[in-house]
Amino acid sequence: MLTRGDRLGARFRLIDKVGEGGMGVVWLARDERLDCDVALKVLHAALLGDEHSAARLRNEARAAAKIAHPGICRVLDVGEHEDTPFLVMELLRGQSLAALIEHDKRLSPEVALSVVEPVLEALAAAHAEGVLHRDMKPENVFLCEDGSVKVLDFGVAKILDDGARERLTRTGALIGTPAYMAPEQARGLPSDERADLWSVGVMLYEMLVGALPFTAPNYQGMLVAIATSAAPSVRARCSSLDAGLAAIVDRALHASLAERWPDARSFSSALAEWRAANGVARASVSTSPGASSRRTPRRSPREQAILTMTDPDRQRRRRGRLALVVAAVTIVTVALSARRLFTPAVAASAAAVSVGDAGFARDARASSEPPDVASPPVVVADRAQDASPRDASAASDVVASDAPRPRPRRGRRADGGASAGIGRDPDF
């Protein structure tokens, strides 16, 4: 079993696993001879020594080598480790279309066509070289960080001019993934490039509608549904979709071979014509952080992160929004600073008001006491000298009324007076 640090072919050092499928494992590896990173595809440990699986791996290398197209992942070399082949491929950074669909469920026409058109162009190049993919599905479409779209995994590809020399199909075996199989594949009949176009039609349907055209509880049920039923119209599942675009997808999924798109280029041209007629720009799909795009209807947050558009107006709007954000942050910062400076002054003012209110309350109580009719109105200072002890006490209360003092507790006063709020008469 391979582990990190192992060397294959005395040249490639394994760094980390980056992907895994039904047949093989993809490793990030270092080519120590060329001093660069590559992707290494090796068979699962359970398949080591299985000649059929090894033949599929070799077939993938041969099929990819026949096609020189930027939309197809390049195979750089083929080697063997302990009598088992491995592929050396260009290292791609990004995510699969399957991951995008799983996250967003439904994509806008702009995003969907930006993925499908490069796929059709790559398939056109493959078909021109006599190579059928036969397993087109979202897992085999890769969205690269640089905005390109790549077709992966020609492991079950059929090379039309060389099929007699190497038979990869076991007796009774079906080639492909059930949900994306064409009806002729589901029936076990011979297929041609139109089967690949059917699979692309299913992917486009899934992106636009948010669901597959056929569903079933199990593998056999899916095959029966595809082989015996007509695909439901796109508009039947998504009435808001443009009728022209829906017609293009419906034709790709027609049960009759004669009614489908005859080749990948005609399918791609129909999509391009629809875009031009409806003013839908073809975007460069990207998964790089910070990628953005024009605002379009029904675009999810994830799509905003994967579309890269070069639009000067959008760039100006973006700079304007950034300036507004900076201004807002500055205003909030100044306001918080002012609040910290202002808070002590407010507290001091509140304390002063509280003391003043306490003094006002004492003055109000003093003014509510019965006047001493025996004492003539005299100057406070004189009264404090000549009046009786009770009067002197009252005078001292008047003199001290401007200074704060503790509120008397409820109960008997220290000078024999009644409880606060009842009265000042000691005989009450």
Instruction: Supply the pLDDT for residue 344.
Output: 55
Instruction: Supply the pLDDT for residue 101.
Output: 94
d(CA 207, CA 105): 7
- The catalytic residue positions are 135
Residues 6+ apart with CB under 8 A from 2: 8, 14, 25, 27, 42, 45
Residues 6+ apart with CB under 8 A from 89: 26, 38, 39, 40, 41, 73, 74, 75, 76
d(CA 59, CA 53): 10
d(CA 162, CA 11): 31
DSSP characters for 15-63?
Answer: EEEEEE-SSEEEEEEEETTTTEEEEEEEE-GGGTT-HHHHHHHHHHHHH
Residues 6+ apart with CB under 8 A from 370: 424, 425
d(CA 102, CA 406): 73
Q: Where are the alpha helices (DSSP H) in 93-242?
A: 97-104, 109-128, 183-186, 193-209, 219-228, 234-237
Residue 236 phi, psi dihedral angles, 5° rounding: -70, -30
CA distances from 420 to 366, 367, 394, 400, 416 (A): 12, 14, 16, 18, 12
Write the single-letter amino acid at 88.
V
Looking at CATH, the fold of the domain delimited by 93-310 is given as Transferase(Phosphotransferase); domain 1 (1.10.510)
DSSP characters for 369-395?
Answer: SPP-TTS----HHHHHHHS-HHHHHHH
Instruction: Supply the pLDDT for residue 43.
Output: 82
Residue 321 phi, psi dihedral angles, 5° rounding: -65, -40
77 is written with which tokens? 């070399």
d(CA 43, CA 21): 10
d(CA 27, CA 358): 81
> DSSP 3-state assignment of 350?
helix
Pick the CATH number of 1-91 from 3.30.200.20, 3.30.565.10, 3.30.70.100, 1.10.150.120: 3.30.200.20
- Tell me whether residue 174 is exposed, middle or buried, using C-beta atoms within 10 angstroms of its C-beta: 0 to 12, 13 to 18, 19 or more: middle
> Do 40 and 46 form a contact (C-beta atoms < 8 A)?
no
Q: Give the domain ranges of the chain.
A: 1-91, 93-310, 321-402
Q: What pTM was computed for the model?
A: 0.64
Instruction: Supply the pLDDT for residue 170.
Output: 39
Q: What is the mean pLDDT of each run of 10 residues along the chain (428 residues)?
A: 85 89 85 92 75 78 83 88 84 93 91 96 93 90 93 71 40 66 91 94 97 92 93 94 97 94 97 94 59 38 42 54 79 78 52 47 47 43 42 41 49 43 39
10: number of Cβ within 10 Å: 10
> DSSP 3-state assignment of 307?
strand
> Do 180 and 203 form a contact (C-beta atoms < 8 A)?
yes
> Do 57 and 86 form a contact (C-beta atoms < 8 A)?
yes
